[in-house]
């Protein structure tokens, strides 16, 4: 009788968990933004937290690293964390602290003991999903540094690194996208690397133990994951020896491509043509291109010069302000389009309804395409305003293509750079090759 009762409870719990698994999958972003009270979402989260806390002392868990209820509790989290409100509540509650304690109990039983493969995969995926949507969800719009600080404070960041080494049976799109994106952003987050990934710090020691083969999965770790972990370790060493970069924190500035050779130059070292504000890395490059540049430069009026300068500042402000979000979108576009970053172009439209330009304070929508698509004239993949320009102003479109061809032809075009195409007041276009530095 007691055995049947246990089975009935398990089936009932499975049905309840299925509801929380399917609800966020089918729902749009607005469901958790006012339609469901935060108190109800918090009630679900409290149920998960208490469930995990209760399993921490489970003998089966401590001895084998597997307990069925744990997977049932964690499975819906991956999908709930695709929405901004549940993610914020998870970060602000004890969820990640309790999850970290749950994993560490298993480790304390044997210095290298890991959860089961299935649980490791689920933990790595839900943590990386929570990170991804904490920086790209419009409900919170946190910086990557803030999200990593919260993960580190809870103790889950080091456990995430361990779980990430466990091979995923069949790498899904979500696994690729969220896991690799999280590791990529960790490599870029200077302040976190300086403060949390040095020798003697839990994350730093855990990462070194994984690379030394003393922690994490004993075999089968994805080569991509190991390369990314090695890159994070190398970056932490570089940041530790570069005090100047420490002062800049994790904020990303912009570097601009030289109009002659394509080399990326920081704003501080950039040289601009005094007549038309074109970018150069040195006087040598400016002189070398003068014969080609002369006719265009002489046509630039004082008004156009002021407009170009204003446009450059406006675009730079947008890109720097939302560097985390744009980096995320560029990374996803590389995966989706099967292209390298320096083969992409980001479209920014500063006009609303072909009217007056407002400051672009938010980038809820942006378009990323392949430069090749422009050069081959695949108009159906363009933003409407680019397609419209091709039809209504073929001369402007021809100039755009010519400019892109010139930018795309640089043989030494840096791999971290990408193109930017902005539409501005009066339908003017701003085309540049930039990179986050």
User: Could you read off the pLDDT tens digit of each residue along the chain, which spans 437 residues?
Assistant: 334 444 444 444 444 455 444 454 444 555 555 567 788 888 889 989 999 999 998 888 888 888 878 888 888 888 888 777 888 899 999 999 999 999 998 877 666 788 888 889 889 989 998 998 888 765 556 788 889 999 999 999 999 999 999 887 665 555 567 888 888 888 878 788 888 888 889 999 999 999 888 898 888 888 888 888 888 887 777 666 544 433 444 445 677 778 777 777 877 778 888 877 788 888 888 888 888 777 777 777 776 776 677 777 777 777 777 777 788 788 878 878 888 888 888 887 766 544 444 445 455 567 888 877 766 665 455 666 676 677 777 776 777 777 776 666 655 566 778 888 877 655 566 777 788 76
The Cα 303–Cα 305 span in angstroms is: 5
Strand residue runs (E) in 294-407: 344-349, 367-370
Distance in angstroms between the alpha carbons of the first and the last residue of the chain? 66
User: Sheet containing 264-266: which strands, arranged edge to edge?
Assistant: 264-266, 254-257, 429-436, 418-423, 344-349, 367-370
Question: In this structure, how many other beta carbons lie within 10 angstroms of the beta carbon of residue 164?
Answer: 28
How many whole angstroms separate alpha carbon 86 and alpha carbon 265? 41
Q: Look at residue 198 in the predicted model and tell me its pLDDT.
A: 84
pLDDT tens for 398-419 read: 777 777 766 666 555 667 788 8
Residue 194 pLDDT:
82
Helices (H) and strands (E) in the chain, counts: 22, 8
Give me the pLDDT at residue 78, please: 81
3-class secondary-structure state, position 280: strand
Q: What's the rounded Cα separation, in Å, for the pair 354 and 385?
A: 9
Length of the chain: 437
Per-residue exposure over 329-364, b if at least 16 CB sit within 10 Å of its own CB, e if not: bbbbbbeebebebbbbbbbbbbbeeeeebeebeeee
Contact present, 264 and 255 (Cβ < 8 Å): yes
Question: Distance of CA 48 to CAs 78, 93, 133, Å?
Answer: 13, 11, 20
Q: What is the largest CA-CA distance in the chain?
A: 92
What per-residue string of b and e applies to 368-378 under the rule 16 or more CB within 10 Å gives b? bbbbebbeeee
CB 236 within 8 A of CB 188: no
In the block, tokens 């002369």 appear at 294
CA angle, 400 as apex, 398 and 401 as ends, to 5°? 65
Can you give the pLDDT at residue 96?
96
CA torsion sign for 143, 145, 149, 152 is positive
- 41, 99 Cβ separation under 8 angstroms: no
Report which secondary-structure segment, H or E, holds 120. Answer: helix 117-136
d(CA 108, CA 97): 16
Could you give the CA distance from residue 152 to residue 414 in angstroms, rounded to a whole number?
33
State pLDDT tens for residues 16-70.
455 444 454 444 555 555 567 788 888 889 989 999 999 998 888 888 888 878 8
Q: What three-state secondary structure class fits 177?
A: helix
pLDDT given for residue 102 in this prediction: 93
């Amino acid at each position: 009788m007691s055995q049947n009762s246990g089975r009935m409870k398990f089936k009932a719990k499975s049905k309840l968990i299925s509801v929380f698994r399917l609800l966020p999958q089918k729902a749009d972003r607005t469901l958790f933004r006012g339609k469901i009270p935060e108190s109800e979402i918090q009630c679900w989260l409290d149920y998960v937290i208490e469930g995990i806390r209760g399993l921490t002392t489970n003998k089966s868990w401590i001895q084998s690293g597997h307990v069925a209820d744990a997977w049932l509790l964690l499975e819906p989290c991956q999908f709930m964390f695709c929405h901004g409100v549940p993610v914020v509540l998870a970060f602000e509650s004890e969820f990640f602290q309790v999850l970290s304690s749950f994993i560490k109990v298993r480790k304390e039983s044997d210095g290298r003991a890991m959860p089961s493969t299935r649980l490791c995969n689920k933990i790595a995926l839900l943590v990386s999903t929570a990170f991804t949507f904490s920086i790209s969800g419009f409900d919170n719009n946190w910086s990557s540094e803030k999200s990593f600080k919260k993960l580190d404070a809870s103790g889950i960041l080091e456990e995430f690194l361990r779980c990430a080494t466990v091979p995923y049976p069949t790498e899904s799109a979500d696994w690729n996208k969220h896991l690799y994106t999280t590791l990529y952003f960790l490599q870029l987050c200077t302040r976190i690397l300086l403060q949390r990934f040095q020798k003697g710090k839990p994350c730093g020691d855990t990462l070194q133990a994984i690379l030394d083969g003393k922690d994490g999965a004993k075999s089968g770790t994805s080569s991509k994951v190991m390369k990314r972990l090695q890159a994070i370790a190398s970056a932490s060493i570089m940041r530790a020896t570069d005090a100047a970069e420490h002062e800049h924190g994790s904020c990303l500035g912009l570097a601009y491509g030289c109009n002659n050779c394509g080399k990326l130059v920081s704003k501080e070292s950039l040289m601009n043509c005094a007549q038309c504000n074109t970018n150069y890395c040195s006087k040598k490059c400016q002189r070398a291109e003068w014969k080609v540049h002369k006719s265009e430069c002489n046509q630039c009026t004082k008004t156009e010069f002021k407009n170009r300068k204003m446009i450059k500042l406006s675009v730079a402000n947008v890109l720097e302000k939302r560097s985390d979000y744009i980096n995320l979108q560029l990374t996803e576009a590389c995966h989706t389009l099967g292209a390298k970053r320096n083969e992409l172009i980001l479209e920014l439209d500063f006009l609303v309804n072909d009217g007056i330009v407002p400051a672009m304070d938010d980038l809820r929508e942006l378009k990323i395409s392949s430069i090749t698509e422009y050069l081959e004239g695949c108009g159906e993949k363009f933003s409407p305003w680019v397609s419209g320009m091709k039809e209504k102003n073929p001369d402007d479109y021809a100039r755009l293509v010519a400019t892109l061809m010139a930018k795309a032809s640089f043989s030494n075009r840096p791999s971290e750079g990408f193109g930017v195409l902005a539409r501005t007041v009066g339908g003017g276009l701003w085309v540049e090759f930039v990179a986050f530095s």
